[in-house]
Amino acid sequence: MDWIPLVYVGGVTVLFFFWIYGIASFALDLKNKILPGLRQYWRGRKRRTAESEEEREREERERQLY
């Protein structure tokens, strides 16, 4: 019965490893994928808004010439 603590410790170690691994992977994903993705999304949205605003202003100016 001496092996039971060993199995217990081993199991906890495996669980601990994957818990830490999960957190580390998530942190890396957050840094390398999720945050850049969100930034890119906001940049694109901002650019599209600026473009459509510019287009609207241009149309408005063109209508002043009709």
- Which residue ranges make up the site for another protein (CB under 8 A)? 58, 61-66
CA distance 16 to 58: 60
SS3 66: coil
Q: Which helix (H) or strand (E) holds 9?
A: helix 3-29
**Looking at this protein, which amino acid is placed at residue 3?**
W
- Name the residue nearer to another protein (CB basis): 48 or 58: 58
Quote the least distance from Cβ 62 to another protein, whole Å.
7
CA distance 64 to 57: 11
Quote the least distance from Cβ 60 to another protein, whole Å.
9
Quote the least distance from Cβ 66 to another protein, whole Å.
5
- Name the residue nearer to another protein (CB basis): 5 or 64: 64
